[in-house]
Every structure is written in C-alpha cells, then in structure tokens.
Amino acid sequence: MPWITIISVILCISLIQTTLLQHISVLGIQPDLFIIFLVFHSLNSKLERSLHTNWTIGLAKDCFSEGLFGLNTVLFVIVGYMISMIKDNIYGKHLATQISVTFIISIIYNFLYLFMFSISFTSAGLLPMVLKCPLIAIYNSIIVPPAFWLLNRFYSSFGFPSLRRKTR
C-alpha cells in the first residue's frame, strides 16, 4: 500500500508541475514540487525507503522534464541521502527547519544540475541560469508551508509516519 500511495503522489506532482505551475511562474521561475516532496519524504522516512523514493521521484522528473535523462535521478538520490544523514541531528518538526532544509537542498541540487549540464553541453547562457538558482530556492521555500501541511495530512491519513508523531 505505501508504494501505491507514493507513486500516486509522484504522478500528481508530475501533473501539477507540468501543467498548472507554468501559470504561476514569476520572472520565468516556477517552484519545483519534486524537490519539495523529496525533502518532505526524506525528513519523514527511514534511509532505505527514502533512497528508493528519491530514485523514483528523480526518475519521474527525468520523464516529465527536458534535459539529460538520468541526471535528476542521480542528483535526487544524492541530495536525498544528504538529508537522511542530517535528519537525526535537526529538529524536523519546526517550520523554519523545513524551510531552511528545502532552501539549502534547492541551491545544492540546482548548482549540481547546472554543473553537470555545463560539463555535458557547452552553453553560452549558463550565467543567467546560475543567477536563477537562488530565486528558485526562495520560491521553493515559500511553497513549503502549505505543501508540507498538505503532504503531512495526506500521509497521516494513509498511516505513514508524520512529523507530528515523530519522536526522538
């Protein structure tokens, strides 16, 4: 049952990301729901399940976006692993922690993606994309409170561990 739910959430995120978010872009920048879900799931699940889910989220992003196929999958596993390694040392229930982790992971992911993309392709327009990385991270951080609230309610209704039930 958990995998059916996770795949359903990923498909809904893919649908929303590819259709609706184009209408709420600011300065050509739109939030990345895949990153937000990656952070949420990595903060709320064990390492093994987190790695499998991060791989699935990255694969979905590769399927529904343009760019190098497989790059998102690899980067999502890497940044998800980073979150899983630090999650026991941070207070994951606090909204400020969730926002700051999402901001930092967005920056790391976007810079790694651009670095790998620039190695693969010589692109003259790399500087404008680098300047957009902090703006994307800010936009992702703004979306965190309602997104985490919805995901937390959805997860708790299906019996997943939620941030409120997490004990140290």
The tens-digit pLDDT sequence of the chain (168 residues) is: 477 888 888 999 999 988 888 788 778 788 889 999 999 988 888 888 888 899 999 999 999 888 778 889 999 999 999 998 888 887 767 888 889 899 999 999 988 888 887 777 765 567 777 788 888 888 889 898 998 888 888 877 766 654 444 444
pLDDT reported for residue 85 = 87
- What residues are paired with 150 via a beta bridge? none
> Which of 84, 10, 7, 13 shows the shortest CA–CA distance to 42?
84
Q: Give the DSSP per-residue string, 30-74.
A: ---HHHHHHHHHHHHS-HHHHHHHHHHHHHHHHHHS-SSTTHHHH
C-alpha to C-alpha distance for 30 and 33, rounded to whole angstroms? 9
Looking at this protein, which amino acid is placed at residue 164? R
pLDDT reported for residue 123 = 57
Domain ranges across the chain = 2-16+30-149
Phi, psi of 26 (to 5 degrees): -120, 120
pLDDT reported for residue 165 = 42
C-alpha to C-alpha distance for 122 and 103, rounded to whole angstroms? 27
